[in-house]
Amino acid sequence: MVKAIRKVLFLCYYLMYRIYIPILLNRAWKGGQLKHLSREDLLVWQDAMLKMLREYSRAAYNYRMHHIIKAFACSEFEIVRKTEAPERRSPIVVLCVKNDLKRIRMLVEHYRVLGVEKFAFMDNGSDDGTFEWLLEQPDVDLYRCFEHYRTAVKEGWINRLVSYYGLDRWYIVTDSDELVVYRGMEEHGIRELVSYAEKKGAVRLKALTLDTYPRDELFSSSDDIRSDYRFIDSDSYFEQDVRAGTHTIGQFFGGPRYRLMGITVPLSKYPLCYFEKGTVSISAHFLFPHELNNGVPCCLGILHYKFIDKDLLEFRKRAASDSGFSSNGLHYRKMIDFLENEKNVSFMYEGTVEFSDSGALKGIRCIEEIAF
């Protein structure tokens, strides 16, 4: 009975937003934050978002969808610097950041080595030097927004960044603590990875998130993050089906947080993606339309630098507040309980492997080899 009532309520919710969303987007286009779009492109985004709402209405789960759409249409972006985009097969790295200078320097260096020509950063009010450093980088387009961060709002911001450069091109959607890696990346750059995806007929490639950790205690200060945090789990991962809208998709779980703390955080992502008509970023772990997430080769890893320096303090904040991580509050509370009850915490175990180069991915069975 409760489920049936919820479905009716969500249907009413959808019908209301079916009227409201076109008004919202049109208002933002005429005088607001979407004036950079052509009328045709505006209608393409509108159609995609209404289809997204409709699917989640059928699934009785769309509470966050309107936050994504509202952030896309209404968030006040300052365009600090926007330059010409590279050709469509050269992926643009898009992400949101706040106060993460050490990891951002590492990220930009990593993708430059792979051949990335353009970065698009949305800075959410950094005051640690991140904004100023990004402003000095000639290959970085820079945007700024001071509005309150929430996970759904971030997805709206990602879609806004994409809208500045247009559909029918490749992007790398990431976070500031993530580096996409793949077997053979030392010899084969990012354009060759795009060529591989196109040969496979894929519009996105799947990745397994790999929490990185040091040989000794977590959260130690580091001047060389990649060198000090170079260890990953090799065999603690598993895949199971989860719901995404009205579809079922395979999701990876595991890693040291599951192995030591029993925390089942999703580890699948689709960082390299071709945004075409109908594509919307709605979650860190999958894109809409959901059916395109199935049958996608998992040939990428994501080195996840989540346990460095002052991260423990950030985890405490997330566990105690509703700063946008409230749905993961239990996750962070379990992490804090474990970390504070254990002394000299180390993630090392017999299945640990050292990531000194992409050859380390050969021992992880979830990650396929790429036939360049």
| 246: pLDDT strictly greater than 70 | yes
Residue 155: give its domain's CATH number: 3.40.1380
| pLDDT of 253 over the 50 cut | yes
Q: In the chain, what percentage of residues exceed pLDDT 70?
A: 94
In this structure, are 188 and 321 located in the same domain? yes
Tokens 């393409």 sit on residue: 44
Residue finishing a domain among 66, 98, 119: 66
**Partners of residue 121 on adjacent β-strands:** 95, 142
Residues 312 and 297 in one domain: yes
Q: State the pLDDT at residue 331.
A: 80
Q: So what's the pLDDT on residue 63?
A: 65
Q: Which of 176, 205, 220 is the last residue of a domain?
A: 176
Three-state secondary structure readout of the chain = CHHHHHHHHHHHHHHHHHHHHHHHHHHHHHHCCCCCCCHHHHHHHHHHHHHHHHHHHHCCCCCCHHHHHHHHHHCCCEEEECCCCCCCCCCEEEEEECCCHHHHHHHHHHHHHHCCCEEEEEECCCCCCHHHHHHCCCCEEEEECCCCCCHHHHHHHHHHHHHHHCCCEEEEECCCCEEEECCCCCCCCHHHHHHHHHHCCCCEEEEEEEECECCCCCCCCCCCHHHHCCEEECCCEEEEEEEECCEEEEEEEEHHHHHHHCCCCCCEEEEEEEECCCCEECCCCCEECHHHHCCCCEEEEEEECCCCCCHHHHHHHHHHCCCCCHHHHHHHHHHHHHHHHCCCCCCCCCCEEECCCHHHHHHCCCCCCCCC
Whether 165 and 185 map to the same domain: the answer is no
Residue 50 shares a structural domain with residue 80: no
pLDDT at 1 (0 to 100) = 66
Domain count, the chain: 3
β-pair partners for 242: 249
Portion of the chain with pLDDT greater than 90, in percent = 73
361-370 average pLDDT score: 94
Same domain, 113 and 153: yes
Judge if 43 and 145 occupy the same domain: no
Q: Which of 116-125, 159-168, 216-225, 339-348 has the lowest mean pLDDT?
A: 339-348
- Phi/psi of residue 264, nearest 5 degrees: -100, 75
> Which of 29-38, 72-81, 302-311, 330-339 shows the lowest per-residue confidence on average (mean pLDDT)?
330-339
pLDDT reported for residue 314:
83
- Looking at 14, 49, 66, the residue that finishes a domain is 66
Per residue in 304-360, pLDDT (tens digit) is 999 988 888 888 887 776 544 445 667 888 888 888 777 677 899 999 999 999 999
- pTM score: 0.94
Contacts for 289 with CB less than 8 Å, ≥ 6 apart: 51, 278, 279
Residue 190 and residue 41 share a domain: no
Sign of CA dihedral 85, 86, 91, 97: negative
Task: Report pLDDT for 98.
Answer: 96
Same domain, 192 and 265: yes
pLDDT of residue 325: 44
Q: Is the pLDDT of residue 62 over 80?
A: no
pLDDT of the residue at 2: 64
Residue 201 clears pLDDT 50, i.e. is over it: yes
pLDDT digit string, tens, across residues 141-197: 999 999 999 999 999 999 999 999 999 999 999 999 999 999 999 999 999 999 999
User: Residue 112 has what pLDDT?
Assistant: 98
Looking at residue 332, what is its pLDDT?
83
Q: Which domain holds residue 61?
A: 2-66
On whether both 203 and 324 belong to a single domain, the answer is yes
pLDDT tens digits, 259-295? 999 999 999 999 999 999 999 999 989 899 999 998 8
The average pLDDT across 112-125 equals 98
Distance from C-alpha of 40 to C-alpha of 167, rounded to nearest angstrom: 12
Look at residue 343 in the predicted model and tell me its pLDDT. 66
d(CA 295, CA 250): 9
Check whether residue 194 and residue 162 sit in a common domain.
no
Label residue 181 left, alpha or beta by phi (over 0 means left) and psi (-120 to 50 means alpha). beta
Angle between helices 329-341 and 311-320 (to 10 degrees): 130
100 and 185 belong to one structural domain: no
Write the CB contacts of 363 (distance below 8 Å, at least 6 apart in sequence).
234, 235, 353
Q: Please, what sign has the CA dihedral across residues 98, 100, 101, 103?
A: negative
The arithmetic mean of pLDDT across residues 47-53, rounded, is: 93
Instruction: Inform me whether the pLDDT recorded for 39 exceeds 50.
Output: yes
**More confident: 357 or 66:** 357
| 199/293 same-domain check | yes
CB-count exposure of residue 181 (10 Å: 0-12, 13-18, 19+): buried
